[in-house]
């Protein structure tokens, strides 16, 4: 029987975004010092591990292409992420990044690729590498691209709304409907647990509660 997995976006799902007061912007972390796990992420990943599901990070990371950080800084952030999760008892089985961007300042990464979400290239690569059944797997993300990538391969999609309610409006405008809407990765793990236990009604009630309380 093929393995199954949970594909996690990184920024906004696993780690916090960073406020840059000098620019007045909020963006992905650019170095290991700025990288920190969101509350409850370690416990959520432990829960997914206990369900017998592989856990993969699949994330667009165009910061190198845009000249915001280096390859070594991305490696340092990845190592810190894995270490922090492991400290809480969790395990990430593999990490897949898309480093490309059509408007990259570095020619090496200036590419309209198949791996950048909403295209499903990273998910399909993991499926080949690990011999997985993506149609019986899960995709968790906080962006439209995450949901579209998951839908394109037939995975169950969980959208983390957090406090980014404007994204919900964009989902509606783009006719994108995730299977479940939750507040954070911990609640995503709870919904996955219900589904894995054959309790779809409980999962739907739980997700409905999340949608109501996240407004």
Asked if 11 is an active-site residue, the reply is yes
Of 58, 48, 189, 185, nearest to 123 by C-alpha is 58
Q: What's the maximum distance between 2 C-alpha atoms anywhere in the chain?
A: 52
In this structure, are residues 74 and 37 in contact, taking their beta carbons and an 8 Å threshold? no
Given the residues 11, 142, 146, 190, the one annotated as active site: 11
Q: CB pairs under 8 A, 24+ apart, for 191-200?
A: 191/158, 192/6, 192/47, 192/48, 192/51, 192/53, 192/138, 192/158, 193/47, 193/51, 195/156, 196/51, 196/52, 196/53
The DSSP element (H or E) to which 59 belongs, if any, is strand 54-60
Asked if 9 is an active-site residue, the reply is yes
- Helices 71-87, 41-50: crossing angle, 10 deg rounding: 70
Of 171, 153, 173, nearest to 161 by C-alpha is 171
Distance (Å) of CA 35 to CA 8, 89, 145, 213, 214:
16, 19, 22, 28, 25
Question: Which sequence positions are flagged as catalytic?
Answer: 9, 11
């Amino acid at each position: 029987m093929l393995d199954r997995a949970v594909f996690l976006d990184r920024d906004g799902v696993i780690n916090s975004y960073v406020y840059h007061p000098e620019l007045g912007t909020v963006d992905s972390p650019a170095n290991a010092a700025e990288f920190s796990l969101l509350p409850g992420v370690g416990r959520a990943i432990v829960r997914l591990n206990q369900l017998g599901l592989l856990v993969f990070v699949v994330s667009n990371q165009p910061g190198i292409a845009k000249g915001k950080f280096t390859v070594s800084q991305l490696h340092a952030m990845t190592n810190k992420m894995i270490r922090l999760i492991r400290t809480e008892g969790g395990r990430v089985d593999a990490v897949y990044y898309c480093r490309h961007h059509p408007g990259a300042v570095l020619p090496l990464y200036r590419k309209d690729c198949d791996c950048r979400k909403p295209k499903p290239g990273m998910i399909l690569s993991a499926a080949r590498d690990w011999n997985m059944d993506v149609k019986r797997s899960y995709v968790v993300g906080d962006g439209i691209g995450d949901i579209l990538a998951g839908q394109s391969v037939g995975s169950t999609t969980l959208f983390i709304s957090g406090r980014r309610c404007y994204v919900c409006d964009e989902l509606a405008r783009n006719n994108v409907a995730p299977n479940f809407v939750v507040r954070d990765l911990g609640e995503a793990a709870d919904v996955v647990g219900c589904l894995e236990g054959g309790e779809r009604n409980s999962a739907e009630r739980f997700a409905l509660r999340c949608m109501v309380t996240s407004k």
